[in-house]
Structure 1
Amino acid sequence: MRVSTQQFYFQSSQQLSTKQSMLNDQMKYISSGKRVLTAKDDPVTFGTLSGYKDELTNIDKYQRNLTQAKNRNSLQETSFANAESLMQELKTLFINANNGTLADSDLKSLADLATNSLNQMLDIANTKDETGGYIFSGYQIDQKPFSLHPGNNVSYLGDNGTRELQIAKNVMVDINQAGDDAFQNVENAIGDFKANYINNTSGIALNRAVIATPSSYDPATNPPDYKFSFTSTTDLTVTDGNGVVVYNTATYTAGQTIAFNGIEVELSGNPLPGDEFDMTPEKDISIFDTIKAAIDWMNVGASPVNTVQHNVDYGDILTQLNQALNHTTSRRTEAGVRLKLIETQDNSHAEAALNLASGRSNIEDLDFAKAISTFEQSQVALQAAQQTFIQIKGLSLFNYI
């Protein structure tokens, strides 16, 4: 068959180009350490690798959320730990204040210390995270949540929003606790109502007052500003906000349960004729209100107008301080539970990432020994083809004349 010079050069260049391209491709696999770089290398394996990469990408996203969630909840846990210590110190301070030997100046000094505790608690409640956002303001992270007003009154300016982050496919975790839940909504130690003592000569106290049967509780028909009046040690009359008698007995005994309109009430102490108090709804009591009550109690001084009532108030405040302390502990525990969940999920992701990386490596990584051997063979073939081309293109009939 006759082969023209042009055809010879064309075929030779095509062959050299193909061998050079194969060599370059092999070099890419060796330099990357991967045997599958594109779908044409192995369509089935490439699809499987895409699944591995997607899962690993998701884990990376979850890991970023886990880091943020851990930081936020760690800050909350630390804040509540500080608040817990502060409440314990305040409780001890308040107990020390109930000492008959203290003078007005002593009680004033203790009240000043309690005021410092109030300001410290306010600082804790207005804690910021690393981004400058308030951690106890709900969704309104740029709004300072708690504000102090004259008379040691504190108001909440945030909302009750709870933010979440996804830390796994079907797992969400809260990254904040709204300020109202954290510091405002402390369960009333005696139940759903509070007492306002009008005349108390015996030292009776509202010990328990709860809505025991909600279906029977009708505040519209019987407004819940109830008045308890003792005309003797055994004669008790309870009237609602409209002045309607809702309970009446002539055989009251100390400690018995008083039930009316779905409400159950228990008093401590033995009443005397003329004792009277109002009972109004109050399901939750702010930590700040409890601290304020303790400060106000100490500021009364060593000579209260009504010593009996002053002692009753002391017992009520101390009970609510214990409740506030327990509430703070439960808030800290909640942050700790979230941190445990985050730690568990973090470990789970680390194990999953290791397994995915191992599985991807098994089907993606290059067999270097085999690849280098193939590369060297291709390199020798290319060099041979190049030498052959050089020798053949120099041939001429004139060489044989």
Structure 2
Amino acid sequence: MRISTQSFYDQNVLAMGQQQQKLFKVQQQLATNSKFLSAGDDPVGAARALGVSQTLSEISQYATSRQRASLSLSNEENALDSVTSILQNIKTLTVQAGGAALSDADRASIATAIQSSYDQLVGIANSTDSNGQYLFAGFKSGTPPFVAAAGGSLQYVGDQGQRLMQVDVARQMPTSDDGRTVFQSVQGSAGYVASGAPANTGTGVFGSVSATDATAPNYGKDFTISFTATDYTVMTKDTPPVVAATGTFSPDTPISFGGVQVKITGKPAAGDSFDVSTAKNAGTDVFAAIGELVSALRTPLTGGGAAAQAKLQNALSTANVKVTNAHDNVLTVLSSVGSRQAEIDSLDSGGADRKLQEESYLSSIEDLDPYTAISEFYQRQSSLQATQMTFARLNSISLFNYL
């Protein structure tokens, strides 16, 4: 069979071109450290690699979300730490204000200190994060959550929404708490709060309210204790009210009703009354409680006698219980924030493990075995060189060389 010169050249050039392409492909694989340069090289492997890459991208997005969530929770934690310190200071000043040796001027000075703490508390309640978003406004994070209302009271104008963030595949985490939950709520475990009526004229002073029988028929209801010259009547605040207890008043004998009891010392005047309500119905707004405390401390006792002193002691006791309940509530919210931060740390640890596993799997799919690739490179390089040398030798063969 005769082979033309043109066919000889074409076949050899084609063979060398193919070998050069294979050599170049190995060089690219070595340069990119990848088994395949396009999906066509390994369709199955490319599809698996794409799926793993998408998973890694999701893991990275969740990690970024957790960082943002952690920052938001850290901002709230710092704010709540300050709130607990302020409330603890107010409790200390409230106890101090009950000293019998204090003058009106002394109590006014304490009231000024408490007012300063109140202003700090309002500032924290209206604090913002680094993006200018109000921490305790719920979904209405673009406007201050607490504003002054008519009469000087503080009104919450935010909502009770919790901003959620997707921090893992199946976990949406609240990264904020609204102002009503933090500053205008009490825990369900908070007990009763007692207070004296503003119109009281006697010297009756109530003590702490203690639970005696949680299974009593009227337990958990709100009550009013009313006095005549010698007797008392305890009525529920139901509609219509129900008589819970009656008796002759004795300052040495606790008054028992509805599974609770309270001891009232001094001598209540006829027409005096005391309110004993559950914490959630006695007023849960810490700002209102502090405002009432400041007003009581700024009311002079000079000339008021024992009745004015009794009214002050009752006001201090009520304020102390309410501030304590608010303090406990903030501590509970703070504990919740800490739990969420701990969960983020756990999710971060799990995310890092998953990322390592997926990266290892992706490496097994994509990464090139350098030893095999280098061996193949030298093999193809040698083959190409041999083909080139053979072609050159055959190309130089001529009958004239043998004449």
Residues 196 and 273, structure 2, Cα contact 8 Å, conserved in 1: yes
**What per-residue deviation string (whole Å, max 9, x for no partner) do you get for residues 352-390 of structure 1?**
222332333344322212211110111122223233334
* Residue 375 (structure 2) aligns with: 373
* Residue 388 (structure 2) aligns with: 386
* Residue 270 (structure 2) aligns with: 274
Query: Aligned residues: percent identity?
Result: 27
- Measured in 2, the distance between the counterparts of 1:266 and 1:109 equals 35
Instruction: Please state how far the C-alpha of 1:297 moved relative to its aligned partner.
Output: 2.0
Query: Match of 1:269, SS?
Result: strand
Structure 1 range deviating more: 192-201 or 106-115: 192-201
Residues 201 and 272, structure 1, Cα contact 8 Å, conserved in 2: yes
* Residue 66 (structure 2) aligns with: 66
Residues 245 and 256, structure 2, Cα contact 8 Å, conserved in 1: no
* Residue 364 (structure 1) aligns with: 366
* Residue 199 (structure 1) aligns with: 200
- Measured in 2, the distance between the counterparts of 1:64 and 1:131 equals 17
Instruction: Please state how far the C-alpha of 1:269 moved relative to its aligned partner.
Output: 0.7
- Measured in 1, the distance between the counterparts of 2:283 and 2:63 equals 38
Query: Match of 2:100, SS?
Result: coil
Alignment of 1:66-105 (within 5 A): 66-105=66-105
Residues 193 and 209, structure 1, Cα contact 8 Å, conserved in 2: no
- Residues 215/370 of structure 1: CA separation in 2 closer, same or farther (3 Å cut): farther
- Measured in 1, the distance between the counterparts of 2:187 and 2:321 equals 11
- Measured in 1, the distance between the counterparts of 2:234 and 2:323 equals 31
Q: TM-score, normalised by structure 2?
A: 0.84
- Measured in 1, the distance between the counterparts of 2:78 and 2:326 equals 17
- Measured in 1, the distance between the counterparts of 2:230 and 2:37 equals 93
2:227 is the counterpart of 1:230 = yes
Residues 198 and 278, structure 1, Cα contact 8 Å, conserved in 2: no
* Residue 141 (structure 1) aligns with: 141
- Residues 301/392 of structure 1: CA separation in 2 closer, same or farther (3 Å cut): farther
| CA RMSD between the two structures | 3.4
**What per-residue deviation string (whole Å, max 9, x for no partner) do you get for residues 159-211 of structure 1?**
1001222222222321111111011113595548866343251424385599x
- Measured in 1, the distance between the counterparts of 2:210 and 2:273 equals 13
- Measured in 2, the distance between the counterparts of 1:192 and 1:94 equals 16
Residues 245 and 257, structure 2, Cα contact 8 Å, conserved in 1: no
* Residue 54 (structure 1) aligns with: 54
Q: Which amino acid letter does the alignment assign opposite residue 363 of structure 2?
A: S
- Residues 206/16 of structure 1: CA separation in 2 closer, same or farther (3 Å cut): same
Query: Match of 1:99, SS?
Result: coil
**What per-residue deviation string (whole Å, max 9, x for no partner) do you get for residues 36-77 of structure 1?**
444444455444434433332221111101101111111111
Residues 152 and 292, structure 1, Cα contact 8 Å, conserved in 2: no
Q: Which amino acid letter does the alignment assign opposite residue 359 of structure 1?
A: Y
Aligned length: 392
Q: Which amino acid letter does the alignment assign opposite residue 96 of structure 1?
A: Q
**What per-residue deviation string (whole Å, max 9, x for no partner) do you get for residues 134-182 of structure 1?**
1111111112111235755211121100122222222232111111101
Structure 1 outlier segments of 4+, above 6 Å: 212-217, 241-245
- Residues 316/65 of structure 1: CA separation in 2 closer, same or farther (3 Å cut): same
Q: In structure 1, list runs of 5 or more residues that go unmatched.
A: none
Q: TM-score, normalised by structure 1?
A: 0.84
Residues 227 and 271, structure 2, Cα contact 8 Å, conserved in 1: yes
Alignment of 1:89-168 (within 5 A): 89-149=89-149, 152-168=152-168
Q: Which amino acid letter does the alignment assign opposite residue 79 of structure 2?
A: S
Structure 1 range deviating more: 231-240 or 95-104: 231-240
Residues 165 and 172, structure 1, Cα contact 8 Å, conserved in 2: yes
- Measured in 2, the distance between the counterparts of 1:152 and 1:196 equals 22
Q: Which amino acid letter does the alignment assign opposite residue 374 of structure 1?
A: E
Query: Match of 2:129, SS?
Result: coil
- Measured in 2, the distance between the counterparts of 1:321 and 1:157 equals 22
Residues 196 and 311, structure 2, Cα contact 8 Å, conserved in 1: no
**What per-residue deviation string (whole Å, max 9, x for no partner) do you get for residues 75-115 of structure 1?**
11111111111111222222222233333333222222211
- Measured in 2, the distance between the counterparts of 1:241 and 1:373 equals 92
Q: Which amino acid letter does the alignment assign opposite residue 267 of structure 1?
A: V
**What per-residue deviation string (whole Å, max 9, x for no partner) do you get for residues 200-256 of structure 1?**
51424385599x799999x9xxxx8x7542224334263868786645634577434
Q: Which amino acid letter does the alignment assign opposite residue 234 of structure 1?
A: D
**What per-residue deviation string (whole Å, max 9, x for no partner) do you get for residues 318-344 of structure 1?**
122222222222222111111111111
- Residues 239/168 of structure 1: CA separation in 2 closer, same or farther (3 Å cut): closer
Q: In structure 2, list runs of 5 or more residues that go unmatched.
A: none
